[in-house]
Structure 1
């Protein structure tokens, strides 16, 4: 049914992948333009989790790369404005 079909963004709506390598671990993140806040919350969630080898330095590097990609994106291509909360703010708490 068309109403239940998953949303599949076009390549033009997606940012390039953000790859973070730390030791033997590699993470690859990608999001649709306008969904950056969701990705930032995921960076913070991973960095807070002591079971994950993804730390706050990795989160900072990934956030910097996302900001770089966003800066290269024309304003008309971004669907919605993004509020980027500080990683330690109450907004980022589980």
Structure 2
């Protein structure tokens, strides 16, 4: 996000506490590969729910803040996650 929009996101390079003002919303689940390396993909909430389903999040999965908070409470660390590419119909 910083590379794509440095003026908007560079100020967050050291992180930002979750919540309604965070671009990743109230919670973010960081996804790692089988070897424990960060994939840089996240499942996160958003403070802009109108962007859900659009390609504005570097491949991350956006949910409403309420949905991601619920998911965050129910998913165990190490759970297997599958993200599928968006299917477009012609």
With structure 2 as the length reference, what TM-score do the two structures score? 0.31
Asked which structure has the greater RCO (Cα within 8 Å, sep 6+), the reply is 1
With structure 1 as the length reference, what TM-score do the two structures score? 0.30
Which one has a bigger Cα radius of gyration?
Answer: 1
Report the structure, 1 or 2, having the larger helix content.
Answer: 1
